[in-house]
Amino acid sequence: MEGVDEVDTENLPRVALPMATIYDEEAVEVLRKQAAVQPHTLKRFRNVLFKQAAGLEEALEILPVEQQAGFREGLQAEVLTLHEARVSEIDGAEKLIFRTVDDHLIETVILKPESGRTAVCISSQVGCACYCSFCATGLMGFSRNLSVAEILDQVRWVNRRIKTEGRSVRNVVFMGMGEPLLNQAAVFEAVERLVDPAWFNLSGSHVTVSTVGIAPGMRAFTERLPTCRLALSLHSARQSVRERIIPQARKYPLSVLKEVLEKAETRGTVMIEYILLKDLTDRPEDLTALVDFLGDLPVHLNLIPFNSFIGSNLEGTSYANCTIFCNKLKNKGLKVTLRHSLGVDIMAACGQLVQHKLKIDKNID
Ligand code: SF4
């Protein structure tokens, strides 16, 4: 089964960074003790770095002058390097491409809806081992997991970038490159830091981890992070169709996912993502299967128009037909939203820009 069993993504060696970072709790604690910095001073140092999104030099000013050198020499602030930024002329969405220390490219997308609630869509892996047919990242294959520092640095980078606009990140969604629940250890730790008052201090209901349905990871997530949100990329409630577009569906069939969702019932609203593909997920039988599958589950359904990309042979449902599909579901009593695609002109959907750039780099475009 391509992309399902070959790679044990949880047990791969982690990337080694040249020096300790501001995200490395143990290294920072060692420095604190060496420099005899008081715990409450370290707390203020972290507040400046992570809540006020200031640079390392500004944060160092919190420390007594004689204690600054050890921290300056022992820690690096940024883990990722900005390689390219594209800004949508339509809606202001920004796609950032970061370069990792070992020369991989990953994507982060900043969404700026009219509500003013800035959201950032972050990556959890370089590429992905799941090979979903509607996803540009799926065509790239899997390289490696991102570390906790690389995951969190995307959020800090964005906060620093949008600070001058008077904005800060309100929502974080793990919907960029990679399957977060196949990099569970790092993703769970990163989520804990995002909601920790001593770190990023976001509300749990504003942090969403999206999965194509890795059932053991979903169970672990609802156990360990009950205040945070889970999104299931369902995309079809018909097993045969789902297997066609999501190879992982063979390993975790709809019956298993339904059981997980029923048990997650008391842990807040689960988001269900459903991509509308012409003649594949938008037919009357797809709608009936979807209504049957969701039944009385306390979920919110997001319908997603499909953004086509190079290498894909799938076609999106027209916007008019998306609206009809949405209204029919509403008439069945489901809580459903038809999403508007932000950043269409900058290839904002997962993996599109990196995949496009890699093709150009290899001269096969
Ligand atoms: S949709 Fe998610 S899980 Fe599927 S290939 Fe893309 S990144 Fe991986």
Give the span between the Cα atoms of 103 and 81, in whole angstroms.
10
pLDDT bracket for residue 361 (50, 70, 90): very low
Confidence (pLDDT) at 185: 96
Q: What's the CA-to-centroid distance between 137 and ligand 1, angstroms?
A: 6
Question: Percent of the chain beyond pLDDT 90?
Answer: 69
* Nearest residue (CA) to ligand 1, atom 3: 179
Instruction: Using the structure block, give the residue that is written with the tokens 């995307």.
Output: 154
Is the CB of 178 within 6 Å of ligand 1?
Answer: yes
The pTM of this model reads 0.90
Nearest atom (ligand 1) to Cα of 176: 7
Q: Give me ligand 1 centre to Cα 202, in Å.
A: 25
Instruction: Look at residue 80 in the predicted model and tell me its pLDDT.
Output: 96
* Helix H or strand E encompassing 156: helix 148-162
CA of residue 246 to ligand 1 center, whole Å = 8
pLDDT at 346: 60
Beta strands per DSSP E along the chain: 81-87, 94-99, 105-111, 119-121, 125-127, 142-145, 171-174, 207-211, 229-233, 270-276, 299-305, 336-338
User: Can you tell me the distance from the alpha carbon of 20 to that of 32, in angstroms, rounded to the nearest whole number?
Assistant: 13
Residues 223-236 pLDDT 10s: 999 999 999 999 99
pLDDT at 2: 45
d(CA 268, CA 308): 32
Residues recognised as catalytic: 107, 350
Q: Measure 185 CA to ligand 1 centroid, in angstroms.
A: 18
Minimum-distance ligand 1 atom for the alpha carbon of 138: 5
Q: Give the closest residue (by CA) to ligand 1 atom 7.
A: 178
- For range 116-140, the mean pLDDT: 91
Q: What angle do CA 300, 178, 14 make, to 5 degrees?
A: 135
149 lines ligand 1 (CB under 6 A): no
Q: Which residue has a Cα nearest atom 5 of ligand 1?
A: 138
Q: What is the mean pLDDT of residues 275-284?
A: 96
Q: What is the pLDDT of residue 18?
A: 67
> What's the chain's average pLDDT?
88
CATH for the stretch 79-361: 3.20.20.70
Q: Boundaries of CATH 3.20.20.70 in the chain? A: 79-361
Chain Cα centroid distance, residue 62: 32
Per-residue pLDDT of 248-258, as tens digits, reads: 999 999 999 99
Q: Is 135 in the pocket of ligand 1 (CB under 6 A)?
A: yes
Q: Where is average pLDDT lowest: 67-71, 212-216, 325-329?
A: 67-71
